[in-house]
Amino acid sequence: MSVPRYAQLNKESPLEFVEPTTARIKERGQGEELLAPQYPVDVYSWGIHRPPDSPTTYRNVISWYLKAAGLTGKEIGGYLSISASRANQLALRTQKQVGNISWGIKNMQMLARSENVDETFLPAHLLRAVRHEMMVAEYCLDRCTEQDIYVVSGALRLGRATYDAEYERVAGSVCPCRWCTNLGRQASLDPYWK
């Protein structure tokens, strides 16, 4: 049985790293203050495994961060100068490297199904998970700022703007499920970086 040529190529030569120069140029051109990752101090007790160090770590974590914030693969790919499918693949792989995130997006989606969360409360229910996953991603991005502070800052600006828009959309809506009720006592949906 012969191995297809494309499989041999991928095995022998991994995909070449493409630097997100467009994102860097755009952030430099903004002339605004550079943003740095922010996260709560207790993140150290969450049992998170940061992705392994590599020259591409910042791009991989940014893919996951922007995916968690709600951007599409096409939007992330456009920001990082990669294809939409590659952006989605990097986001998924990076999230798996970090491990199971308590109250992450996938967990809250499963809880929404098991709790029969009404469609009207679903955005508020999931926003709590988006917020939590973004905080974890910013924690992972914290050690990547030396790799390309402009691209990291631009990603934070984009992710936070996306979160702010969703936060405004669900403002005042409170999910009545028992998980959100319990979590709501511990953490608000307010943007954590302000």
pTM: 0.85
180 occurs within a structural domain: yes
Span 43-59, pLDDT tens digits = 878 888 888 888 889 99
Determine the structural domain holding residue 106 and report its residue range. 53-186
CA distance readout (Å), 67 to 86, 110, 148: 12, 18, 19
CA 163 to chain centre: 11
48 occurs within a structural domain: no
d(CA 17, CA 121): 41
Our count of domains for the chain comes to 1
Left (φ > 0), alpha (ψ -120 to 50) or beta: where does 3 sit? Answer: beta
Span 91-148, pLDDT tens digits = 999 998 887 777 788 888 898 998 899 998 999 889 988 998 999 999 999 988 788 8
193 occurs within a structural domain: no
